[in-house]
Amino acid sequence: MTRQRQLIYNIIAAAPEHRTAEEIYDLARAEMPSLARGTVYRNLGLLVRDGEIRKLEMADAPARYDRERSPHPHLVCQVCGRVEDLPAPDGLMEGFAAARGVALTGYDLKLYHVCPACRGKRHGA
Amino acid sequence: MTRQRQLIYNIIAAAPEHRTAEEIYDLARAEMPSLARGTVYRNLGLLVRDGEIRKLEMADAPARYDRERSPHPHLVCQVCGRVEDLPAPDGLMEGFAAARGVALTGYDLKLYHVCPACRGKRHGA
DNA sequence: AATGATTTTAGGAATCAATCCTAAAAGGGG
DNA sequence: CCCCTTTTAGGATTGATTCCTAAAATCATT
């Protein structure tokens, strides 16, 4: 475990925020200014591969990273992109797997809304 | 409705395939060789905005487009990326909305598996 | 702690999907 | 056909991410 990887992991593990690679890069550079962007991406990839963190692909926006290891749905603000974890509903995959007769390997469920902060800031007519 | 947009729409409407912009571009150019890539992207965006088609953001892969207008889950092959439509389960959003007390505007549910074709082609060990 | 093999890093170039820019072409309605 | 608005082709640009390479760090062994 290199210092770089530990630092990147710590940033993700320290808070429930679902940060982008760029945000993680900025936070990490505050402590290790020589850190390269490529190192952040590579280590995020390795941490994901090893199951230590989870990658969240966002619609029309950079990916975000989640310290929560187990699969669960996410509540995503359509306006600002903020992501919240939701509790995993029981039997979601099982229901579909049974209905289709297929073996599922995972799922990705995003629920979209407009968060209170964004609802405040006028939007249409 | 320009000829370009009609052509792009027809390609999507004609088959249940969930194609990428590049695939649509290639198919369209077979009929209209002067068609520009930017025109494809712009028209896909407009068709999505007008609710005529749906955009599917894929993990680590270009977006795909779905002729199905109503929200429904997708079954995605982890290996080749092929996408199939699944029937919409009743009350999926309602359940979450009620549990969280939030107003949801939409959802995106992807179920991952390895399709039969890819299961055949050796993978590990 | 020195040695040598292996892995990782910094830094920047490269890639790739997608967007933006601009002058020319196409609509479109009177 | 004429004027006005929208769209297009084609190419440049962007932005997230990946790739490349020589230098630095790590690691196991002594």
Sequential DSSP letters for B15-73: -S--EEHHHHHHHHHHH-TT--HHHHHHHHHHHHHTTSSEEEEETTEEEEEES--S---
pLDDT value at residue A116: 92
A30/A59 same-domain check: yes
Tell me which of B40 and A1 has the higher pLDDT: B40
B7/B30 same-domain check: yes
Tell me which of A122 and B5 has the higher pLDDT: B5
The domain boundary, picked from B29, B45, B69, lies at B69
Cα dihedral sign, A17-B100-A58-A99: positive
pLDDT value at residue B90: 82
Range of the domain at A15: 1-67
AA letter at B97? A
Q: Tell me the per-residue pLDDT of B6-57, one tens digit each, with 9 for 90 and over.
A: 999 999 999 999 999 999 999 999 999 999 999 999 999 999 999 999 999 9
pLDDT value at residue B123: 53
Whole-structure pTM over 0.95, yes or no?
no
Beta bridge partners of B58: B61
Contact A44, A55 (CB under 8 A): yes
Give the least confident one: A25-34, A42-51, A92-101, B11-20.
Answer: A92-101
A91/A46 same-domain check: no
Q: What mean pLDDT value characterizes chain A?
A: 92
Among the partner-chain residues B59, B95, B102, the one whose CB lies closest to the CB of A57 is B59
CATH number where B84 lies: 3.30.1490.190
From the number of C-beta atoms within 10 Å of its C-beta (0-12, 13-18, 19+), residue B76 rates as: buried
The answer to whether residue B96 scores a pLDDT higher than 90 is no
* Cβ <8 Å between B111 and A107: yes
* Cβ <8 Å between B86 and A78: no
A96/A125 same-domain check: yes
Partner B contacted by A58 (CB < 8 A): yes
Note the strand D nucleotides within 7 A of protein beta carbons: 7-12, 15-20, 25-27
Partner A contacted by B102 (CB < 8 A): yes
Give the least confident one: A34-38, A76-80, A92-96, B12-16.
Answer: A92-96
Q: How many structural domains is chain B composed of?
A: 2
The candidate with the shortest Cα–Cα distance to A102, out of A110, A111, A94, is A94
B1/B47 same-domain check: yes
pLDDT value at residue A125: 36
The domain boundary, picked from A19, A50, A67, lies at A67
